[in-house]
Amino acid sequence: MTRLLLKLDPDLTKPSRLRELLTRTRSPSDLIRNQASRQVLFRMLSPAQAQALIAGLELGSGGKSDPYSTLDGLRISKGSGLEVRLHHLLGVPYEPPPAKEQGGQDAWDIQPAYQLFPHQRQAAAEANAALSRDRRRVVLHMPTGSGKTRTAMSLISDYLRADEPRMAVWLAYSEELCDQAANEFERAWAALGNRPAPVLRFWGGNPISLDNHFDGLVVCSLDKIRASIKSDYMTWSRLADRARLVVIDEAHQALAPTYKQTLELLVDRHSETSLLGLTATPGRTWNDLDEDAKLAKFFDYKKVSLRISGYSNPVDYLIDEGYLANAKFESLTYTGSFNLDHQDLERIAAATDIPSAILDQLAEDDVRTLLILMRAESLIATHKRLIIFATTTEHSNTLAAVLAARGVNAASVTSATHPIERRRLIKQFRANDGEHRVLCNFGVLTTGFDAPETSAAIIARPTKSLVLYSQMVGRATRGIRAGGNAEALIVTVVDTSLPGFGDMSEAFTNWDDVWSTDERS
């Protein structure tokens, strides 16, 4: 419609004229009653107006700090007091719905509070079936942004409802992933639970105690367990005796030597204990088939992947349906003065990833850094949220400082950033405040970080790890139906003498042959 009006008379597309047209073709009451248009209207409110509307509707925040998320979740029944109150608060005359005809019956869908999309429901059902067979192990393989955590929490809720008291364990290797899991369980159990159940947080400086706890979810950081397992073995033994479901996030880490003892204790102690692995990349490496085969064997070659009728790759379906953004890949090629000698090439070939000494040399190349800065400035003009994966910690800080000096809202987050400051900067980046922001980082935002508005990423960190590359890409590819964007732009700095990768579809299918039963035979 707008395209036609532009061709006919551009004056007709002025905002004031379009508003007039809208209210002539759709009544204000109709716009309010329709959930889709109602959500659009809510998003046009200022934060203060949104908070005032929540207060007027007596909704409370539901534990959410973002008023728009609270309003987006609003469900209004026809003729309800809430519908009347919303009309009144927005200054729109209310007309009750017409009385039902004698003998007639209206029917409409009841929206669940913790809904799974069809592809998530299918994956959950297949994973649940696999966990009931043989050694009760399976990997749930879903692309980044397709809802692995939400799907797993639905499975955990099913498990906890089946009997009581009952405990489940969630293992993750970073505090950000632990925090994400605990918060997601609170949302899931509030909607799906059948009794009060705690979530025990065993990470960071939180104390470890199972005293009087026989029910609920225990979220543990793998480093926390590893550090305390010798001095507090009995606590973890008791947990192994009480929990019959163990979930490990980023399951490709399962065979790391530092985590092997933990899994043996929690999973192998009882034959009926189930192990569910979650990953977007079901391999430990890109080109070491032996290592990837060990991971597949550890999970008994059982992998549940998204299967969509009519699609050879589920990533294409997720993009078509708006769950993932349609990612466009751009190469920022740099040859520069960086030269590798024979020893450098040998070190790169032997290492699992680019050696830190090589990354330090790249970070110190000012011409390369200026190339990244110029592309970042052009991107932030058209993208509200840009994330940059820097080459080193110092590189991240340098990029953010130069961008800030040039008037860009930029910040840096690394492992050296204090946890309180890190949370503040991430919260600021996630805020729906209308500002254009850049967040530079090194080594901390590849997982456990979700800012759906992010629509562009610069990957300035070269890597041999397809796992790591896929995780970096995934930070910017949340689709519209996941609160993100229709399109995303991934700019990869290509250092011509170093290895690199292509797109996300390739990453999803890279390890299929390792998990196939044909390959084992």
Average pLDDT, whole number, for the chain?
82
* Residue 98 or residue 303, greater confidence: 303
Examine the domain organization and report whether 300 and 327 are in the same domain. no
- Supply the DSSP string of 417-468, one letter for each residue: S-HHHHHHHHHHHH--SS--EEEEEESSSSSS---TT--EEEE-S--S-HHH
Is 70 exceeded by the pLDDT of residue 510? no
Q: How would you class 459 by CB atoms within 10 Å of its CB: exposed for 0-12, middle for 13-18, buried for 19 or more?
A: buried
Q: Please tell me whether the peptide bond between 355 and the residue prior to it is cis, using omega within 30 degrees of 0.
A: no
Band of residue 8 on the pLDDT scale cut at 50, 70, 90: low
Is 70 exceeded by the pLDDT of residue 372? yes
Residue type, 200: L
Examine the domain organization and report whether 326 and 301 are in the same domain. no
Distance CA 390, CA 395 (A): 6
Q: Which residues contact residue 255 at a Cβ distance below 8 angstroms, ignoring those fewer than 6 apart?
A: 284, 291, 294, 295, 298
* Domain assignment present for 397: yes
Is 70 exceeded by the pLDDT of residue 64? no
Question: 3-state DSSP call for residue 356?
Answer: helix
* Domain assignment present for 519: no
Band of residue 506 on the pLDDT scale cut at 50, 70, 90: low
| Torsion sign, CA atoms 369, 375, 378, 383 | negative
Question: What pLDDT digit, counting tens, does each position of 315-350 carry?
Answer: 888 888 888 888 888 888 888 766 667 777 777 776
Backbone angles phi, psi at 125, to 5 degrees: -65, -40
* Domain assignment present for 395: yes
Give the pLDDT of residue 276.
93
Question: What pLDDT digit, counting tens, does each position of 210-239 carry?
Answer: 888 999 999 998 888 888 888 888 888 899
- Supply the DSSP string of 214-237, one letter for each residue: -SEEEEEEHHHHHHHTTTTHHHHH
Distance CA 306, CA 144 (A): 12
Q: Which residues contact residue 44 at a Cβ distance below 8 angstroms, ignoring those fewer than 6 apart?
A: none
> Which CATH number covers residue 136?
3.40.50.300
* Domain assignment present for 99: no
| End residue of a domain, out of 40, 69, 89 | 89
pTM above 0.75, yes or no: no
Give the pLDDT of residue 519.
45
The token pair that represents 486 in the structure block? 């229709």
137-141 and 274-279 strand pairing? parallel
Residue numbers of the domain that contains 47: 2-89
Examine the domain organization and report whether 244 and 133 are in the same domain. yes
507, 466 Cβ separation under 8 angstroms: yes
Residue type, 357: A
Q: Which residues contact residue 268 at a Cβ distance below 8 angstroms, ignoring those fewer than 6 apart?
A: none
* Residue 248 or residue 77, greater confidence: 248
Of 73-82, 288-297, 304-313, 484-493, highest mean pLDDT: 484-493
Give the pLDDT of residue 166.
93
For residue 505, the Cα-to-chain-centroid distance in whole angstroms is 17
Examine the domain organization and report whether 364 and 466 are in the same domain. yes
Distance CA 247, CA 173 (A): 12
Q: Which residues contact residue 445 at a Cβ distance below 8 angstroms, ignoring those fewer than 6 apart?
A: 176, 387, 389, 413, 426, 439, 475
| End residue of a domain, out of 274, 305, 336 | 305
Examine the domain organization and report whether 357 and 271 are in the same domain. no
Q: 318: closest CA among 457, 478, 467? A: 478
Examine the domain organization and report whether 195 and 233 are in the same domain. yes
Of 364-368, 413-417, 427-431, 457-461, highest mean pLDDT: 457-461
Is 60 exceeded by the pLDDT of residue 92? yes
Residue type, 396: S
Examine the domain organization and report whether 299 and 328 are in the same domain. no
| End residue of a domain, out of 276, 305, 334 | 305
* Domain assignment present for 314: no
Distance CA 104, CA 287 (A): 64
Examine the domain organization and report whether 140 and 270 are in the same domain. yes
Band of residue 133 on the pLDDT scale cut at 50, 70, 90: confident
* Domain assignment present for 103: no
The token pair that represents 142 in the structure block? 């879903």
Work out the percent of the chain whose per-residue pLDDT is above 90. 22
Examine the domain organization and report whether 299 and 331 are in the same domain. no
Q: Average of pLDDT values for 127-148? A: 84
Give the pLDDT of residue 415.
83
Backbone angles phi, psi at 55, to 5 degrees: -65, -45
* Domain assignment present for 15: yes
- Based on the structure, what is the number of domains in the chain? 3
Examine the domain organization and report whether 362 and 409 are in the same domain. yes
Examine the domain organization and report whether 454 and 352 are in the same domain. yes
Give the position of tokens 């042959």. Answer: 513
Examine the domain organization and report whether 356 and 384 are in the same domain. yes
Q: Please tell me whether the peptide bond between 165 and the residue prior to it is cis, using omega within 30 degrees of 0.
A: yes
- Other CB atoms within 10 Å distance of the CB of residue 490: 23
Give the pLDDT of residue 518.
46
Residue type, 30: D
Alpha-carbon dihedral angle through residues 420, 423, 427, 428, given to the nearest 10 degrees: 60
